[in-house]
Amino acid sequence: MQIQPILLVAAGGAIGAVCRYLTTSAITSFFGKEFPYGTITVNIIGSFLIGLLTSVLSQNYLEPQLKLLLITGLLGGFTTFSTFSLDTVNLIHASDYIKLFLYIAGSIVLGVGAAVTGLLIGEAIKAH
């Protein structure tokens, strides 16, 4: 029996959202609230994982249903582009342009770098 795709996405999204909340809370409690450390952390982790899972799943190591659960659902619920956008606007309103630049540049450079790293590691896993 095949599970309905919408249920897989919903289950993954719920798990991803809880993981985002726990990760962001832990990072914020450790580093503080003066910079959106939690958001940038989950986005970098999510970028790495989407690269890794996309690479691994492209070789059909896992069922297509797991792609819906893990990539669309879990990582969709875990990463936080809408929060990134709000954090960016808040830094603009605070006129904190150094943190604004670091946040945008760090999110893009580290996020893309994490996705590339995940893809490369996935390719290395497939080669073995």
Helix (H) or strand (E) holding 124: helix 97-127
Domain extents for the chain? Answer: 5-127
User: Which residues, 6 or more positions from 98, have their beta carbon under 8 angstroms from its beta carbon?
Assistant: none
- The helix/strand count (H/E) of the chain reads as 6, 0
Q: How confident is the model at residue 60 (pLDDT cuts 50, 70, 90)?
A: low
Is pLDDT of 78 > 80?
A: yes
Binding residue ranges: 76, 79
Per-residue CA distances from 56 to 19, 36, 37, 64, 81 (Å): 22, 31, 29, 12, 24
Q: What is the reported pLDDT for 62?
A: 61
Binding residue ranges for Na(+): 76, 79
Is pLDDT of 2 > 80?
A: no
Sign of CA dihedral 51, 54, 59, 60: positive
| pTM of the predicted protein model | 0.82
